[in-house]
Amino acid sequence: MNLTPVPLLFEDSRPGRRCMVTAGADRASAVAGMPESELRGKPPALPEVGELDLLRHFTRLSQKNYAISTNFYPLGSCTMKYNPLVNEAIAAQPCWSGLHPWQDADDVQGALALMHGLAKDLGEATGLPGVTLHPAAGAHGELTALMVLRAWLDERGDNQRRTVLIPDSAHGTNPASCALAGFDVVTVKSDERGLLDADSLADKLGPDTAGLMITNPNTLGLFEEEIAEICRMVHEAGGKVYMDGANFNAIMGWTRPGDFGVDMMHLNLHKTMSTPHGGGGPGSGPICVTEELAKYLPTPQVVERGGRFEMATPEASIGRVRGYHGNFMVLVRAYAYVKRLGGEGLKRVAENAVLNANYLRVQVGEHWRIPYDRICMHEFVARPRKEMNDQGVHTMDVAKRLIDLGYHPPTVYFPLVVHEAIMVEPTETESKETLDGFAEAMAQVAQEAMAGDEALHAAPVTTPVSRVDEALAVKDPQLCFRCGS
Amino acid sequence: MPYIQNSDADRAQMLARIGVTSIEELFAPIPKALQLDRPLAIDPGRTEEELKTHLAELGAQNVPAASGPCFLGGGTYDHGWPALVDHLMQRSEFLTAYTPYQPECSQGTLQWIYEFQSMIAELCGCEIANASMYDGASACAEAALMALSQTRRRKVVVSRGLHPDARLTMETYLKHVDAEVVEAPLRDGRTDWSGLVDGDTAAVFVQQPNFFGVIEDLDTPQALAAEHGALSVASVYPVAMGLLRSPGAAGYDIVVGDGQSLGVPMGYGGPSFGFFAARQASVRKLPGRLVGISKDREGRRAYTLTFQTREQHIRREKATSNICTNNALIALRGAIHMAALGPQGLEEVACVSRQRTLELVKAMEEAGFERAFPDAPYLNEVAFRLSDDEAVERLRGALRAEGIRAVVPVSCWYPELAGVFTLACTERVQPDQVLRLAEVAANAVAQEVSR
């Protein structure tokens, strides 16, 4: 990593430095006829930096990151798999990137065919044939699906069902999306096996139940073995089942949510379908629903009519949930991924994701507690041993020490149902040697923790900065160069 | 197998280490009855070469507007960007990193987000900005939700000149929280606010310039909002900020918009990024991620995600928004592009886009076309009027036949404006292309008359 501080662009700014120049600008003729009251005196004070210095600035910043291309990145629930380079090469072509969203359907038949084809493949993989590609991310997909649920209830004249049940191991987006869609959240406890407890679910189902949001495999990396019965119970109570598909990577080609009773789910194309995370997006969170619910999906949808593709609005659509037609350029990458792998390849993905996770689980389990220590799916959750906590070592110390050993830390302190959780998801694209290296690092950290080694509290020391004072950032907020300085 | 490194020998060793004899045993937690007993009905896999061929064939069925003269607008514009932007976007340390939850090994991402926030705040004339939203439409919806929550009122008043996708997205979002969207109509292309803003109004939304390219008066809606204790919200076209005053300077509480015009390929409409700027005092109500400056243990400047207690991963159903993944990488594009422009570059792009538009209006008027709102001031997008939608479609087709992508008909969103369409210019449009557009358009209309 590049340890040298990089000044802010604003600090490197010098009046008159230029990068991008547009010829022929003449302010006086440009503003002729524009209302004086709406004109500004001078343009915004953006930084003034030359092209080479800009290149160095951002290149040096990039060198201050861990990324999949540089380091193992076993973030649980995030599916940090290899992002194939060919997808980037394809997406860079003007035949995709140069399309304007209001072009004639005749100009964009390739784009529409791609969206139609991707929707069809996602419908097949999930067993849920109604697909919208609009949502920009998983949370957006959840919200969209909950709006679909509401539309379905409204059409039945059912305004009593305002409650959505959510297991305590769920992602935070689940309850947050419920609140935005106007539903009340009731939390359902996990049982001692780390699974949704069918009995406590039965207690909470009632005439106010709109549905259940369930993650499967769940955030402990465990398949909800009673899922078919759970879906049946929710349906019997008059609700619908939503599945958070963040962990679909583990089961692709092995089982289909539509077949075991799920009514709606989202897919994170930036997880399962290999599109890059980009430091926090853009993602894409298509939702797949049953035939019954397809008529409520957002507008517009690609349809095929006599060999020609065009946009149409579903019969009882909830309306728009964003601008234009979805994160199209992400869809191009996901389509390329699905078409490269094919149906059989997608199944191999799940197999190797599960193989890698279990291989790592048994090795990490030699030194760390695995609260639910049995065959897992794509990820597992570990935690420090009591003896480590007694030495004053906590999960945060472990995470920071791993950075010094060259690994991006796993997801920590999530799921909430495991105290001091360390959630590891290796993905299918890592080699055995990389997994062995990580297991050795975890063993080393465990030994250091048992010995009360200072390195754990000092970590990280190999990074551009040491541990950051997060409280100070709230106490003395400096959120942008002008206001905070 | 593509992208999977495990060999058969590796797999055998790994299974042995786990203590199972087959992959199937690892899938035993999935009840047998639920396991798929057939292969997925998805095409067989392809080699990389076959994949490239397949996508090339599919891509050949597209005619990208950006490859020829493009006068299409309606919220997405064919602006240019330097090669620097494309190059830096492929830095895999940006491309393949996750959300910077571990600040020590994510300082690169965190610093550029801080710089992005600073530049957006400067552009909008606001004190703070967040790390990005999905797009302009969802940023508007989030602004509405924030206003509802802050004022505890149930109504927003929205200019009918706001991008239709944003208006419709807000409607979808708001009906689920029992709030309503009231539209302020257009009179001669500008918003008429009279009699709509009152003590039940949570926010007032204006777009600058509006969907028809018309420059709105920012003072009236801001004053009405302030008078009734509502929030004033403006959605802006970033390029316009090279010439027009910022809503922040005009006293607006929230400024949002879509960043597509800041170096983002049109990409059939996405992904772009949304931006969201506001007052420092409202920081705890803000949706989305925020980066701030703090210190590390040695007292060095260090960047970190902050005010995370607003967010869903901490606050769950009480979060200010459900947003998690946003459009970070595209916001990075915007940050690099804004830095590449600098103040002068931004002004130049705005000026040249406007100059071409003046030439276009002159040429179109000489060709006999009439502006839909002849008295309304505009920047780089203009509405014209023909007799009916069929005439607009024929014009669009005639231009398309000549390789010119132009004409956004508006009546699908504005039934009251049959026959109205818009044209837009960017700095990429050349003067001779403007003349050619007017010539082809004039011929198309002449044929119409002689028919």
B83-336 — its CATH code?
3.40.640.10
For residues B27-47, give the mean pLDDT: 97
Contact B286, B308 (CB under 8 A): no
| Cα A80 from Cα A17, distance rounded (Å) | 39
Q: What value does the mean pLDDT take over residues A159-177? A: 94
Sketch out chain A's domains with CATH numbers: 9-62 (no CATH), 87-341 (3.40.640.10), 344-471 (3.90.1150.10)
Contact state of A347 with B273 under an 8 Å Cβ cutoff: no
Average per-residue pLDDT in chain A? Answer: 96
Q: Give the per-residue pLDDT at A413.
A: 95
Q: How far is B319 from chain A (nearest CA, A)?
A: 6
Interface of A with B in 118-147 (CB under 8 A): 121, 124-125, 136-140, 142-143, 146-147
The mean pLDDT value for B267-287 works out to 96
For residue A6, list chain B residues with Cβ-Cβ distance below 8 A: 111
Is pLDDT at B449 greater than 80 in this prediction?
no
The answer on pLDDT for A121 being more than 70 is yes
Question: Helix A51-62 vs helix B107-124: angle between axes, to the nearest 10 degrees?
Answer: 130
pLDDT, tens only, A388-422: 999 999 999 999 999 999 999 999 999 999 999 99
* Three-state DSSP class for residue B415: helix
Predicted confidence band at A284 (pLDDT cuts at 50, 70, 90)? very high
Strands A163-167 and A130-132, sheet pairing: unpaired
- Contact list, A19 vs chain B (CB under 8 Å): 82, 84, 339-342, 345
Lowest mean pLDDT: which of B37-51, B77-91, B184-198, B304-318? B304-318
% of chain B with per-residue pLDDT over 70: 99
For residue B211 the two structure tokens come to 């969907």
The nearest alpha carbon in chain A to B50 belongs to A340
Are residues B313 and A47, on separate chains, in Cβ contact within 8 Å?
no
Q: Does B446 touch chain A (CB under 8 A)?
A: no
Nearest CA in chain A to B238: A44
Mutate to test the interface with B, among A31, A85, A180, A462 (most CBs of B within 10 A): A180
The pLDDT value given to residue A485 = 42
Minimal C-alpha gap between B132 and chain A (Å): 10
Provide the strand spans (E) within A124-220.
Answer: 130-132, 163-167, 184-188, 209-215
- Check CB contact of B300 with chain A, cutoff 8 Å: yes
Nearest CA in chain B to A175: B317
Which A residues, 363 through 382, put their C-beta within 8 Å of a C-beta on chain B?
Answer: 363, 375, 377
Q: Where are the domains of chain B?
A: 66-78+342-450, 83-336
**Cis bond leading into B64, ω under 30°?**
no
- B94 contacts A67? CB cut-off 8 A: yes
List of chain A residues whose C-beta atoms are within 8 Å of the C-beta of residue B180: none
C-beta atoms of A17 and B342 within 8 A: yes
Location of structure tokens 């159903």: B317
Q: Distance, in angstroms, between B197 CA and closest chain A CA?
A: 22
Nearest to A359 among B18, B105, B400 (CB): B18
pLDDT tens digits along A298-345: 999 999 999 999 999 999 999 999 999 999 999 999 999 999 999 999
Q: What is the pLDDT of residue B97?
A: 97
Task: Reply yes or no on whether the pLDDT at A484 is more than 60.
Answer: no
Name the residue type at position A205.
L
Question: Which of B:102-121 have CB within 8 Å of A?
Answer: 102-109, 111-115, 117-119, 121
pLDDT at A84 over 70: yes
**What pLDDT shows up at residue B323?**
87
Query: CB–CB of B17 and A363 under 8 A?
Result: yes
The residue among B99, B441, B176 whose CA lies nearest residue A178 is B176
Residues of chain B above pLDDT 90, percent: 94
In this predicted structure, the answer to whether residue A348 has a pLDDT above a threshold of 90 is yes
Interface check for B93 against chain A (CB to CB < 8 A): the answer is yes
Do the Cβ atoms of B18 and A326 come within 8 Å? no
Chain A hits for B63, CB-CB cut-off 8 Å, are 103, 107-108
Alpha helices in A127-158 (DSSP H): 138-155
Residue B14's SS3 state is helix
Nearest residue to A297 via CA among A306, A286, A305, A307: A286
Cα–Cα distance measured from residue B327 to residue B325, given in angstroms and rounded to the nearest whole number: 7
Go through chain A and tell me how many residues it has. Answer: 485
For the domain B66-78+342-450, what is the CATH superfamily, name and number?
Aspartate Aminotransferase, domain 1 (3.90.1150.10)
pTM recorded for the entire structure: 0.98
Alpha carbon of A390: minimum distance to chain B alpha carbons (Å)? 24
ipTM greater than cut 0.95: yes
A29 touches chain B (CB under 8 A): yes
Question: Is A73 in Cβ contact with B95 (below 8 Å)?
Answer: no
**Mean of pLDDT values over B281-297:** 96
DSSP symbol at B32? G
Element (H, E) at A172: none
pLDDT of res. A32: 96
Residue B44's beta-bridge partner residues? A342
* pLDDT for residue B451: 57
| Residue B450 confidence (pLDDT) | 63
